[in-house]
Amino acid sequence: MCGIIGVTCLPSSRNQKVAEIITNGLRSLEYRGYDSVGIAMIDASERRIIIKKSDGMLEQVAKRYDFPNTPGFTGIGHTRWATHGAPTQINAHPQVDCKQEIAVVHNGIVKNFLELKRELEAKGHIFKSETDTEVIAHMVEELSKNSDTFTAFKKTVSMLEGSYALALVSVKEPDKIFFARRESPLIIGISEGINLIASDIPAMLDHTNAFIPLSDGEIGWISPSHVHLESLSGEVVDLKKRIIYVDWKSDMVRKGGYPHFMIKEIHEQPQVLKNTYEGLMSDDILDRAADLLMRGEKLFVTAAGTSYHASLLLKLFFEKLTGKIVYPFIASEFRTVEHLADRGDIIMVVSQSGETIDTMKAMRAFRARGATAVAITNVMGSTIGREADFTIPMRAGPEIGVAATKTFLTQALVASLLSIKFSSKVGKMGKDEERGALAILGEAGRIAGESIAMTEGAAKGMAERIHTTKSLYFLGRGLGVPLAYEAALKLKEISYIHAEAYPAGESKHGPIALVERDFPVFFIVSSDSSDEIASNVAEMNARGALTVALAPEKFKEKLGAKVLFRVPEVDPMLEPYALTPPFQLLAYYTAVRRGYNPDRPRNLAKTVTVE
């Protein structure tokens, strides 16, 4: 879950220093991990590698060591989410060999590192860190005694068990960056006089829109004017067939005047929902996806975290509109259900990044049993996007905040549009009805915008009220249940207040025991639930809870909650777009009120590429 970047550039081709390019790239990769950070630059004239690294966040470390002014035209950088070894300066990447002539950055876990380390120690190598990564630098050192660096690198990689995205530099070949990938994302960026390699696309957007996402088992090197890519078995890859062009712009990965990415991305929702809708309506991709679903025997859906909550919405939409059962499961639990999958089944896979290891493994296990995978992802060149049999783009643009916001609602929109198409194919909806339903969803962006405008002030006020709270509940019924799960995740992951979600009816079967005077209980009130939920509000009021309803004005009296977050009154299909912004805003303002940076929640990384 770390972020890695490598840049190699012709001395004459850029005004900017390469170390500055790497530092800027790390800034946009920092959401992948921020325990420590470091760079390695090859100083070819002195035949040495300059290493600068420390525990702590990029801004402080880069300033302290003056990262941008480090000399050199080839270098690598890393931002770390610790797996092996505490987040200390020694354990920070890059890791080096005995003579500091080879440096490596790594995202992933080398499972057999202890075995390799013992072997190398027996040959006299001295290790400094507790990381699994350091063995790679020493092994390349050992093997390149009798061969060129690429041969040594290939041999080293073939010995590694586990997952890796690697970038390695050596003073012996000072304008090259060697790389390899297995189960952790890695993408080459190609441009005139400069080539790059990084964990994801936003880190390279300042320099190119042309990318080659690597597949598992690929290995190679870049120099300023050449890219070499081959499979581990030595087959050279034809690059022309692999280049993708991405229409994201570099200003999309900047804060644009907002204090944090999270609040920027919440406010982007009206626009991105419009983009998602217009993009999907302008071609026949949903028709083709629905045709594929028609051929499915059983339908499964899998994902992790926020994307799982969107999958629960997908299940509700599908079952309501098509009558076809959808079996959802949490991706990391795929082993408990994979035996249910057969040839002819469909697995829908929802992943913003398209790189979440749990989701990827679930998809692979189902495909191995003959199921067809239909992916919904924001990153078309991602591993899940490429490996799925059919991929639907979310078009949310890059999401940098660790807490998913705009991608949740775009996933919800893709799910509802797909369920409408599918419903019409299976004859549950006539053509006119289909057109009408699709037109209603064209309003999703506008409703999200209205909801933000109506609830931002209330969210700030409520943050002031609950910021010292230790624990709270989100309850819902029907559509409100997945939304309550998402609300609880949002609040706990960035404000560190314990938040739990339950179907409101279930609260009586245990959770209500915690409720005492002023205990906050938030109710997410969808139109399929307002009658029964009123009794749950009354039960909580009777115990002195601070009851807060997220609901349209018309339910105010019936619900009897002590506080109302008034949201737009809309068609049931549009309710996710009315009900979601207030709890996203509440999470954001509560985190800020408690003095935390919502873009950098502790212990978390945006893309989880380790099991």
With CB under 6 A as the contact rule, the residue among 304, 371, 570, 592 that binds ligand M6R is 304
Does 352 contact ligand M6R by CB under 6 A?
Answer: yes
Looking at residues 397 to 436 of the shown chain, list those that interact with ligand M6R (rule: CB under 6 A).
Answer: 402-404
Nearer to ligand M6R, 204 or 402 (CB): 402
Rounded to 10 deg, the angle between the 406-425 and 575-593 helix axes is 160
Contact characters 491-530, ligand M6R, x per CB under 6 A: --x-------------------------------------
Does 305 contact ligand M6R by CB under 6 A?
Answer: yes
Least distance to ligand M6R from the beta carbon of 486, Å? 8
Closest CA to 325 of 316, 336, 337, 313: 316
Q: Which stretch in 6-14, 305-313, 314-322, 567-575 sits in contact with ligand M6R by CB under 6 A?
A: 305-313
Q: How many beta carbons lie within 10 A of that of residue 124, not counting itself?
A: 9
Nearer to ligand M6R, 178 or 522 (CB): 522
Nearer to ligand M6R, 184 or 353 (CB): 353
Least distance to ligand M6R from the beta carbon of 574, Å? 23
Closest CA to 167 of 198, 207, 203, 194: 198
Listing DSSP states for 436-495 in one string gives: HHHHHHTTHHHHHHHHHHHHHHHHHHHHHHHTT-SEEEEEESTTHHHHHHHHHHHHHHHH
Does 28 contact ligand M6R by CB under 6 A?
Answer: no
- Amino acid occupying residue 226: H
Tokens 């996007």 belong to residue: 385
Residue number of the CB atom closest to ligand M6R: 305
Q: Which stretch in 300-308, 413-421, 436-444, 573-581 sits in contact with ligand M6R by CB under 6 A?
A: 300-308
Nearer to ligand M6R, 167 or 360 (CB): 360
Closest CA to 301 of 292, 311, 291: 311
Does 584 contact ligand M6R by CB under 6 A?
Answer: no
Does 95 contact ligand M6R by CB under 6 A?
Answer: no
How many residues in the shown chain lie near ligand M6R by CB under 6 A? 17
With CB under 6 A as the contact rule, the residue among 351, 372, 507, 580 that binds ligand M6R is 351
Least distance to ligand M6R from the beta carbon of 610, Å? 11
Rounded to 10 deg, the angle between the 480-495 and 575-593 helix axes is 20
Does 608 contact ligand M6R by CB under 6 A?
Answer: yes
Does 452 contact ligand M6R by CB under 6 A?
Answer: no
Least distance to ligand M6R from the beta carbon of 538, Å? 32
Q: Which stretch in 96-104, 132-140, 426-434, 603-611 sits in contact with ligand M6R by CB under 6 A?
A: 603-611
Three-state secondary structure readout of 153-190: HHHHHHHCCEEEEEEEEECCCCCCEEEEEEECCCEEEE
Least distance to ligand M6R from the beta carbon of 374, Å? 15
Query: Do 588 and 263 meet the contact criterion of CB atoms below 8 Å apart?
Result: yes
Q: Which stretch in 112-120, 245-253, 348-356, 559-567 sits in contact with ligand M6R by CB under 6 A?
A: 348-356
Question: What whole-number distance in Å separates Cα of residue 505 and Cα of residue 569?
Answer: 24
Task: Give the catalytic positions in this structure.
Answer: 2, 606
Query: Do 36 and 82 meet the contact criterion of CB atoms below 8 Å apart?
Result: yes
Question: What whole-number distance in Å separates Cα of residue 437 and Cα of residue 434?
Answer: 5
Question: What whole-number distance in Å separates Cα of residue 408 and Cα of residue 388?
Answer: 20
Nearer to ligand M6R, 80 or 492 (CB): 492
* Three-state secondary structure call for residue 293: helix
Three-state secondary structure readout of 345-374: CEEEEEECCCCCHHHHHHHHHHHHCCCEEE
Least distance to ligand M6R from the beta carbon of 403, Å? 4
Q: For residues 358, 362, 368 and 371, what is the CA-based torsion angle, rounded to 10 degrees?
A: -150
Please provide residue 610's backbone torsions phi and psi, each rounded to the nearest 5 degrees. Answer: -125, 150
| Binding interface with ligand M6R (CB under 6 A) | 304-307, 351-353, 356, 359, 402-404, 489, 493, 606-608
